[in-house]
Amino acid sequence: ADGEARVHNLWIAFDPGSVVNPAIVTAQVESAAALGTSSVLFEQIVYRDGLRQSQNFDTYPILRREHMPAVHVRIVESGAPMGGVGEPGLPGVPPAILNAVAALTGQRIRSLPVANTKLVGA
Structural domain including 101 reads 9-116
The answer to whether residue 79 sits within a structural domain is: yes
Mean per-residue pLDDT over the chain, rounded: 87
Residue 20's domain is classified under what CATH number? 3.30.365.10
pLDDT at 80 > cutoff 60: yes
Question: Who contacts 91 (Cβ-Cβ below 8 Å, separation ≥6)?
Answer: 36
State the average pLDDT over residues 28-45.
92
Residues 21-35: tens digit of each pLDDT: 999 999 999 999 999
Q: Three-state secondary structure along the chain?
A: CCCCCCCCEEEEEECCCCCCCHHHHHHHHHHHHHHHHHHHHCCCCCEECCEECCCCCCCCCCCCHHHCCEEEEEECCCCCCCCCCCHHHCCCHHHHHHHHHHHHHCCCCCCCCHHHCCCCCC
pLDDT in tens, 97-118: 999 999 988 989 988 898 878 7
The answer to whether residue 3 is domain-embedded is: no
Distances (CA, A) of 95 to 1, 24, 45, 102, 119: 22, 25, 20, 10, 17
pLDDT of 2: 64
Q: Quick check: 37 and 7 in contact, CB under 8 A?
A: yes
Q: Is residue 108 part of a domain?
A: yes
- Is the predicted pLDDT of residue 3 greater than 80, yes or no? no
The confidence score (pLDDT) of residue 121 equals 65
Number of domains, the chain:
1
